[in-house]
Structure 1
Amino acid sequence: MLAALLALALFVVPTAAATIPEIRGPVTDETGVLAGDEAEIEQAIEELLQRQRVQLWVVFVPTTDDLSAQEFAAGVAAGNSLGVNDALLLVAIEDRTDTIWVADGLEEITDAEIDEVIETALEPRLADGNFGAAVVATAEGLGEAAATTDATLPPVRTADPAATPPAGGGFEGPGNEPDGGGSVLLPLVLIVGGVGLVAWWLMGRRRVKREAEERDRRTGRLARDANALLIATDERVRDARQEIGFVEAEYGEAEVGPLRTAVDEAREALRGAFAIRQRLDDAEPETPDQREAMLNEVVAHCRTAGAALDRETARIQALRDLERDAPTILERLPGRIAAVEARLPAARTAFDALARFASSTRQPVVGNLEEARKGLDGALHATERGRSALAAGNRRAAGREARTAEQGLTGATALLDAVDRLATAAGDAESRIADELREAEADLAAARSATSDSEPSKSSESRLTAAATAVRHAREAA
């Protein structure tokens, strides 16, 4: 009896926490997400059956509880006597898991083809919430997979799986056991303990299996992303190498130098990525964790290469935009230069006002006004040269002069801003010092008032005198 009960536990425990649905038609939807799409889905299922003699059953459930999607699908297939030419699409909405089970009779549909149907037809549409379209696309994908071989197809199975109940077994109930009193207790304890051990063992197996499946799926996605990124980065590096010649012809060696450096950096990173990819493809196998880490390295190398190219692509594009917009920029530059020139008198006043502070205070901005004047003059002359280039039809030279003028104007603005900021900061500090001196003088007066009714000690009088002297010196310095 103990052996029989343990055998029963092996069958019951894996599905004890999950209810296997009974299939009563082509579509079993316990979630309601397929409402309104049943007709289109059933038409796709019927076409698959008539054209490829594959009977597809669709099951949507909220969750598979503690079972993996693959385990749950196998339970549905076994519990509903699926076989021969049957295929089962299972989707667990809340778990966001899915799988496709096919009977042994559909050997023409390979595991690789099933994975492709899941990755290209099923999961992208599930992710978008197009559940009906996901089922239809899956049926079409299975049809294409089944059509890739001329293997002899099994006869069409039309019976409702619910009409053939799953095979069952029985065991003798306690009513057929002799009443042995205490002699029954030990077997019962052994039975309960045995079932518990089996349950613990099965739960551990399911957990390990789920973790392995999730890791394999994650690594598979990572491998696809890494391969796609590797190909795209290789193409970008090739394009950038061709771009070097164009940039040199357009803007000269001064502008093409940084691009060459960036391309060299990208090529070095790309070589590292390809080296790792070759190690992944060699005869020496890696552990799953090693493979995942190496794929992440491939992605990191490609991103390093892409960042170097992005930086230079943006810079070169800015040059071309400047050349394109040169007429507008050169037209507006005189007014912008005049606006900054108008700030010079106020900046001179602010700088001169700093003379009342220690010489070290204004040292950081000594020479700013003169340099700003030079920058504005340079911007004005570059603007004039740019306009002349435009008049001569040389837009490229006009763009270069516009950039020179922009740089001179930006530099002059920054120099004047520095003078204004320092003058403001010094004035604020001066105001705070005056307030703090008044507070210190008030504190001294309060201290003397507190000691006026008694004879202060020599040490107290000495401290008060020193404090008063310090406040007086600070006032004179301010």
Structure 2
Amino acid sequence: MRTRFTVMLGLVAAAFASTVTASVAMATAPVTLDSGFVTDDAGVLSSSEKDAVNSRLSDLAAADGGDLYVVFVDEFTGPSDSVAWTDQTAIDNGLGVDQYLIAVAIDAGQYAVSADQNGPLDDSEIDRVTQAMENGLRAGDWSGAAIAAADAFPGQGGGGDSASGLTWVLVAAAVIAVIILIIVLVSRSRRKKRTAQVTVPDPNDPYASISDEDLEQQAGSALVHADDAITSSRQEVGFAVAQYGDDSTAAFTKVVEAAQAKVAEAFSIKQKIDDEIPDTAEQRRAWHIQIIQLCDEADDLLNENIEAFEELRKLETEAPQALERLKARRAAAEQALDAAAPTLSALGQTYDAAALATVSDNPAQAQHSLSLADAAIAEAATAIIEGKNGEAAFDIRTAEDAVERTEELIDAVTSLGANLLAIEEQIRTTITDLEADIAAAGAMPDTQGHLAPIIARTRSNIDAAQATLQGTARNPQQNLDMLTAANAEIDAALGRVREASEQAQRVRRVLEQRLTQAQAQINTANDFITTRRGAIGATARTRLAEANAAYSEALATQASDPILATERATRAYSLASEATSLARNEVDAFHTGGWSGGWSGGYSSGGSSDLGGAILGGILGGLFSGGGGGGGGGSWSSGGGWRSGGSSRSSTRSSRPSSFGGGSSRSSSRSGGRSRGGRF
């Protein structure tokens, strides 16, 4: 049995009142640590700060410097003694001999370090760790304090014997000398070319040290992760609504809508950057920063509701019942899948490959998703039998998303068939309008011979469209595009002689056609991107978001300004088409190994790593911290169902037992010794 020992340090003089805002402290009993090295129950770290601390502590563990965990809470209670609270948390989470825990109570201005009596650090080294983090705690630099503590571990550059210190000083001096020499040489070579005054970075700008190129990459990555988090969160709310009803989930629905509004604004800014209008470097930089900030705000909205949402679902406590419901849903999805392939085959007898390209592989991808669901369901059933409902909850969530993707892929086939039929109906309506135009044009005097060639071309296009409607391997959208162009041409010729009332009616009919086209194309793009979002980056998503915005504007202005509404509907169709094309290119690149965006983790079943598994992994990457690894938390979502991100500890060192199954090496007795505590 291992024991951890406790000795209180003297009080450290602190400027606590200047760094912590006055508030009513939230009492916090010993907690379950997150899957990474950092647990922020006090909400004092931003996403980027938490990632930075997790990364530093992962490096410490990988370098065999020891495992260091950090937890931020509002106040220590049950027990209220800082060291006793920290030791109890270490025991409850099964920390090992070489694993250390720093706990910080923000509102109470207290901290403590829990260390096992047989741990590799001696008393002086533990003291060095506590001293290193005190300045950061006093300044309210919570992430800096945690990183400073890691740096103070032996061999990490924050302390050590005099010989190693001298070695590092000599190495640092040599490196500095080389850097100075390089700077001098580069400065001399560039001095003659320098024509503009050097801009001094704004010390108040948190992005001052980031280049324009890196800022652009961060903005694109933020958009992708935020969009995936919105999609995943919207699905989670849908699951909860089905289980608990609208009244119980109304607050969560509003949260997702508010976060989605911020992401939509970010996509709109991205569209301004991507459009044909030239922008200055300053404008692009400011817009990229605004995109990152909007995505962070959306992420914060979702993150603030994780705990309440987890409490609502309580999937872990009802895992057996949830598994039975999931099995029934999976069976229904399989029945629908059995009909999908024949449906697609029937469509192939009527339409050409280009018209069906966005759903051509949907049955195969749906079958693969169903296989992934089956594997997760089997694991969940085994976990329930073994009494590991926490692990079962994770598997059930994995299976739920696999079944959800199966349903989406199947629905997309049916939706496309309905869209194609609607387009062909629009073709027939357009032909009727064109026939009327030809008759009207034929009744008009054509003294200069301008109308005759237009009438001939229109007639030729009508004949071609009618022949295609009767044949096979047709492409309705291409035919409608051809007739739309003919319609515009003959409308222009007849415009000056058409009565105002008749023209207005004509505009209304054209608007209806444009709206139908735009809606169909948006549906196609949305179905394709949603079912393959793990392989699709920010640009295609931006086009789709802007298409939705243009379509909404068209609907809003159709009564007051039908001409503007027609223009916006046409733009929506164009943007949705571009979104589909860009998304298909990215998926094709993914197949050939050329795609480098999106989720970088992996969820595998039976060694498979094809597009279906990777895309599902991308979805689950936004649901569970630590990518597709699996672990963390005692419920189905450890900060992941709402937002993607976080870090997982190094796999090269022993880690604490998963909170799903509990630890097997807990100690129930503690007395004075090597743990440390104090105030800041």
TM-score above 0.5: no
Q: TM-score, normalised by structure 1?
A: 0.36
Query: Comparing both structures, which one devotes a greater share of its residues to helix?
Result: 1
With CA pairs under 8 Å and 6+ residues apart, which has the higher RCO, 1 or 2?
2
Highest CA radius of gyration, 1 or 2?
1
TM-score (norm 2): 0.26
